[in-house]
Amino acid sequence: MRKTVIFVADSLDNAYKFQRVLAGMDVEIAAGSSLQLKKLLTQHPSCDLVIFEANEDVANRVASVEAMIVEHANASLLVIVSEDVLNEFRLPVQVKSDFVVQGAKEAECGARIRSLLWPGNEGSATDFLSIDTMTINLATYQVTVGGIPLDLTYLEYALLAFLVTHPGRTYSRDALLQRVWGFDYYGGSRTVDVHVRRIRAKLGPELSQHLETVRGVGYLWSA
């Protein structure tokens, strides 16, 4: 079944790249600038996916796009973001969503688009991890506690998901920086402590007991 995609980007590089990616898919494309998104949604209320390039004031712009989709359509959302905002980036919780980093290869962009348009077995049990009242959806990068979504930044989610998927193993701060932040991160290792504190506060007193500090070494998730 042919899908409808609204593509909104203000940079020519992304416009050309996603045009090539979408050209190989069974989709109808409605493209425009960020200022035209509301008009495009009104014209295509049955669209299946919105691809949105968020360059500035990312949190507010993504929230605005989410609100417009909720009001005017029933579409999924793929956000294009720059790597330097990942520390504060949050995926929307009211619409099915994913993201790609600026400069991502065409193959990755295509894979994420296909997972949103033709999800196949995305709801399989292997995509979900449940610990007590917490559920982590590895397909959508979302965490709920007692059915309520947690407001996690991308890096908070990535750190929590990494530790939960490697239970019972202790990782040093430097190891976590390499595994979660990436080899190109040049900040101090104490940023791990800051993120752990935030995660514990959001998980609550019972769940946070699983996220243990190993004195002089680092952190582990106890099953």
| 201 sits in which H/E element | helix 191-203
- Which residues are 78's β-sheet partners? 51, 98
The answer, yes or no, to whether residue 122 has pLDDT greater than 50, is no
pLDDT at 125: 47
Cβ atoms < 10 Å from Cβ of 223: 8
φ/ψ (deg, to 5) at 49: -150, 140
- Tell me which residue has tokens 């099953």: 223
The strand order across the sheet containing 27-32 reads 27-32, 3-8, 49-53, 76-81, 97-101
The answer, yes or no, to whether residue 48 has pLDDT greater than 80, is yes
61, 38 Cβ separation under 8 angstroms: no
The answer, yes or no, to whether residue 176 has pLDDT greater than 50, is yes
In tens, the pLDDT along 125-142 reads 456 788 998 998 877 778
3, 78 Cβ separation under 8 angstroms: no
In the chain, domain spans: 3-117, 152-221
φ/ψ (deg, to 5) at 5: -120, 130
More confident residue, 96 or 24: 96
**Nearest partner of 161 among 97, 221, 95, judged by Cα:** 221
d(CA 79, CA 85): 12
pTM, two decimals, is: 0.61
Q: Do domains 3-117 and 152-221 have the same CATH topology?
A: no
pLDDT at 137: 82
The answer, yes or no, to whether residue 54 has pLDDT greater than 60, is yes
The answer, yes or no, to whether residue 203 has pLDDT greater than 60, is yes
In tens, the pLDDT along 70-99 reads 998 889 999 999 988 888 888 888 899 999
**Nearest partner of 49 among 20, 75, 23, judged by Cα:** 75
Greatest alpha-carbon pair distance for the chain in Å reads 59
The answer, yes or no, to whether residue 103 has pLDDT greater than 90, is no
212, 219 Cβ separation under 8 angstroms: yes
Degrees (nearest 5) of the Cα angle 119, 124, 130?
125
List Cβ neighbours of 152 (8 Å cut-off, separation of 6 or more). Answer: 90, 143, 160, 199, 202
d(CA 146, CA 193): 26
The answer, yes or no, to whether residue 172 has pLDDT greater than 70, is yes
Cβ atoms < 10 Å from Cβ of 35: 9
- Tell me which residue has tokens 């994420």: 112
- What's the fold here for domain 152-221? Arc Repressor Mutant, subunit A (1.10.10)
Architecture of domain 3-117: 3-Layer(aba) Sandwich (3.40)
In tens, the pLDDT along 138-154 reads 777 789 998 888 999 88
Q: How confident is the model at residue 56 (pLDDT cuts 50, 70, 90)?
A: confident
